[in-house]
Structure 1
Amino acid sequence: MAFHSLSLSLLLLFISSFPLLALAKWNQDAVIFVFGDSNSDTGGLASGLGFPINLPNGRTFFHRSTGRLSDGRLIIDFLCQSLNASLLTPYLDALSGSTFSNGANFAVVGSATLPKFVPFALNIQIMQFLHFKARTLELAASGATNHINDAGFRNALYIIDIGQNDIADSFAKNLSYAQVVKRIPAVVAEIESAIKSLYNEGARKFWVHNAGPLGCLPKLISLAQKKVVDSLGCLSSYNSAARLFNEALLHLLQKLRTELKDATVVHVDIYTIKHDLIANAAKYGFSNPLMACCGFGGPPHNFDNRVTCGQPGYQVCGEGSRYVNWDGIHFTEAANSMVASKILSTDYSTPRTPFNFFCSH
């Protein structure tokens, strides 16, 4: 019990330190571009499609809805704040007033790699970046201030966190396990194409997250027609497919390190971090790791597709509750902060590279 209390105290100290960082002077050297899905979306869906994301989303830290699918900050928010950098503005947020001097977030809820050329597939996000870069450099050349220059784009960190929806959506379409696995090379090929497109534009610093344990998400467990679960209660086929995707992604990044000689390509093992958090939830001060904090229906998963978080009739846990999962898919701020702390330790990075490695030019 003393160990649990110590773990909880350290976690609360970790979380509480970030608002202090957020109030300090921003790190002007940190330029970050993010490509991905809802794990990293800081408001792209709300800005791009006008899709309403209501309270209680955002109730922690922001005290309002910001378009994030969580009660508070996402992993990317904690990573930015660890650098003393401002939080990233969605590329599609027309009324933000931002000059995007610290980068931009192209991630949008629901994004996948395939099919291509649909909002907001990975290749569309890359096309948006290319337009953003060209327009930004035009403005800088015309004398506009506070915009990223060519050196800023070269020295920026490019984060990619995508692929989870490709796997989950394949299962949702009732594809067999073998059919889902057969699609993995095409998904990884799209990530390779994205990285090479960015490299050809001068990007040299890449930070790539693998897929988390999808089979441990309350929504997917609740909706699965065939519930073959492991000892934790997670869907075995989903997690197995995620691991195979992660193996293929790791192999790709190893290959790119040899091909892109002057690039730094970091692989981050999100699967191991999140699986450990779920498997050993009590050790980290959490409970009910397979139950959503915000949803409907109560135990064991508190998820009902007809009454999702923020929609009329939803039920939500107390603000001080120690839940891993927020809405059936996404993590709570407390869980995101724990994942971020593990990422920052470099223990799960290959090669072991500090997150702030790109800040020195």
Structure 2
Amino acid sequence: MGVVKEGCFPLFPFFTLHVILSLSIPLLPLSVHSKCAKNPIIFNFGDSNSDTGGYVDGLGLDFVPPNGRTYFHQPAGRLSDGRLMIDFLCESLNTSYLTPYLNSLGPNFTNGANFAIIGSATLPRYVPFSLHVQVSQFLRFRSHSPALMSNGYKDLVGDGDFENALYTIDIGQNDLAASFDSLSYSQVIDRIPSFITEIKYAIWSIYQKGGKNFWVHNTGPLGCLPQKLASFARDGSELDEHGCLVPLNNAAKAFNAQLGDLCKQLNSQLINATIVYVDIYSIKYDLIANASNYGFTSPLMACCGYGGPPYNYNANITCGRTGYTVCHEGSKFISWDGVHYTEAANAIFASNILSSNYSTPSVNFNFFCNKI
């Protein structure tokens, strides 16, 4: 790995999409351009995979370089070198990046709000910022935004727009990761139904307030994260042919199977609602398993971290802390810091999401434009 910089900072717990893809991965489908008749409205719920600054706004701090170096050229509230999947998906709809709900400095919520917070999980329910708390924040926003607009406030969402909004959910990774810190594999599997119940509650709560368009991501291959590979004791029998931890990935698959069943169930129960289940696991695992075909190198090694091959991850010297090293800008790494992904990887993920090949039912974001 090319080492170009050492850091001395503490780290706390699209170009358009089609340009990126045409320059680096020409065989991938181009982004789907928006056909929305009016400004699309998105409400997002999740964790660090889609937090665009809520954690930073909530704690009153900024992340440190080299976070944000690729696109924003400075830390931008995201744990990545650049844009996240949700940023690219917003670009595909020709809408602005989502403003964090906790942003109090001139926020603009005309295209929705982002309730995702780094570190969030489905449980415990009342601990900030669990999925339950995020939904509670949304319900408060849902209640107050139309009333404030009627009193002359701007940059909010009107009453009729909530019904046609798109509600995106990407959560569950932290539930599984935290469970493996103290529980056996069988105990983790036993906990999964409780995580799924919280997601069911979230969708039902939003639906009861008029929401009917849901976009639900399953969780990625936990056992392929450099952090987990560097941290868990293992022998060769625990690794698959691509070097990922089988037990952790099997738990992710078990979670995803139950989440897929939930989405299928809700599609039959919620009248006039559409719940799209997106197989993020397959999208991410495909990139890791076939990294060289996409032009990437060292698929299980963090770009930013410490320790060098095979994982470049050390829990005491994480990206941004004194002593860290970072790969050359423009290097084709999949993992940014051992837990989160690089902008280059996120661009590939978003392109595959937009293809609709990983969606059940098989629709893309423009499907919802026709419902606005």
Quote the residue 1:4 is aligned against.
Answer: none
Tell me, yes or no, if structure 1 residue 44 matches structure 2 residue 54: yes
Quote the residue 1:164 is aligned against.
Answer: 173
Task: State the distance in 1 between where 2:118 and 2:318 align.
Answer: 15
Q: Which amino acid aligns with 2:288?
A: I
Quote the residue 1:127 is aligned against.
Answer: 136
Tell me, yes or no, if the aligned pair for 1:57 and 1:64 is still in contact at 8 Å: yes
2:66 counterpart SS class = coil
Q: Which amino acid aligns with 1:299?
A: P
With the length of structure 2 as denominator, give the TM-score of the two structures: 0.90
Tell me, yes or no, if structure 1 residue 145 matches structure 2 residue 158: no
Task: State the distance in 2 between where 1:28 and 1:308 align.
Answer: 43
Tell me, yes or no, if structure 1 residue 222 matches structure 2 residue 235: no
Task: Report 1:147-296 matches (<5 A).
Answer: 147-173=156-182, 175-227=183-235, 228-296=238-306
Quote the residue 2:122 is aligned against.
Answer: 113
Alpha-carbon spacing, 1:264–1:8, altered in 2? closer, same or farther (3 Å): closer
Tell me, yes or no, if structure 1 residue 29 matches structure 2 residue 39: yes
Ranges in structure 1 where 5+ consecutive residues have no aligned partner: 1-6
Task: Report 1:310-321 matches (<5 A).
Answer: 310-321=320-331
User: Post-superposition shift, 1:357?
Assistant: 1.9
Task: State the distance in 2 between where 1:213 and 1:290 align.
Answer: 12
Q: Is the deviation greater in 216-225 or in 146-155? A: 146-155
User: Post-superposition shift, 1:253?
Assistant: 0.4
For the aligned residue pairs, the C-alpha RMSD in angstroms reads 2.0
Alpha-carbon spacing, 1:45–1:77, altered in 2? closer, same or farther (3 Å): same
Task: State the distance in 1 between where 2:145 and 2:79 align.
Answer: 29
User: Post-superposition shift, 1:9?
Assistant: 4.9
2:186 counterpart SS class = helix
Alpha-carbon spacing, 1:313–1:28, altered in 2? closer, same or farther (3 Å): farther
Alpha-carbon spacing, 1:327–1:298, altered in 2? closer, same or farther (3 Å): same
Q: Which amino acid aligns with 2:24?
A: L
Task: State the distance in 2 between where 1:267 and 1:32 align.
Answer: 16
2:109 counterpart SS class = coil
User: Post-superposition shift, 1:28?
Assistant: 4.8
Tell me, yes or no, if structure 1 residue 11 matches structure 2 residue 24: yes
User: Post-superposition shift, 1:8?
Assistant: 7.3
1:290 counterpart SS class = coil
Task: Report 1:302-317 matches (<5 A).
Answer: 302-317=312-327
User: Post-superposition shift, 1:172?
Assistant: 1.4
The percentage of aligned residue pairs carrying the same residue is 55
2:300 counterpart SS class = strand
Task: State the distance in 2 between where 1:322 and 1:78 align.
Answer: 18
Q: Which amino acid aligns with 1:149?
A: G
User: Post-superposition shift, 1:146?
Assistant: 3.8
Task: State the distance in 2 between where 1:27 and 1:294 align.
Answer: 41
- Number of aligned pairs? 347
Tell me, yes or no, if structure 1 residue 346 matches structure 2 residue 356: yes
User: Post-superposition shift, 1:27?
Assistant: 8.0
Task: State the distance in 1 between where 2:346 and 2:280 align.
Answer: 11
Tell me, yes or no, if the aligned pair for 2:107 and 2:155 is still in contact at 8 Å: no
Ranges in structure 2 where 5+ consecutive residues have no aligned partner: 1-19
Tell me, yes or no, if the aligned pair for 1:160 and 1:209 is still in contact at 8 Å: yes
Tell me, yes or no, if the aligned pair for 1:8 and 1:285 is still in contact at 8 Å: no
Tell me, yes or no, if the aligned pair for 2:354 and 2:364 is still in contact at 8 Å: yes
Tell me, yes or no, if structure 1 residue 136 matches structure 2 residue 145: yes
Task: State the distance in 1 between where 2:38 and 2:164 align.
Answer: 12
User: Post-superposition shift, 1:143?
Assistant: 2.9
Output one character per residue of 1:13-39: Cα deviation in whole Å (capped at 9) or x when no partner.
799x99xx9xx9x98521000000000
Shift >3 Å, 4+ stretches: 7-15
2:160 counterpart SS class = helix
Task: State the distance in 2 between where 1:64 and 1:224 align.
Answer: 32
User: Post-superposition shift, 1:147?
Assistant: 2.3
Tell me, yes or no, if the aligned pair for 2:62 and 2:75 is still in contact at 8 Å: no
Tell me, yes or no, if the aligned pair for 1:11 and 1:338 is still in contact at 8 Å: no
User: Post-superposition shift, 1:218?
Assistant: 0.0
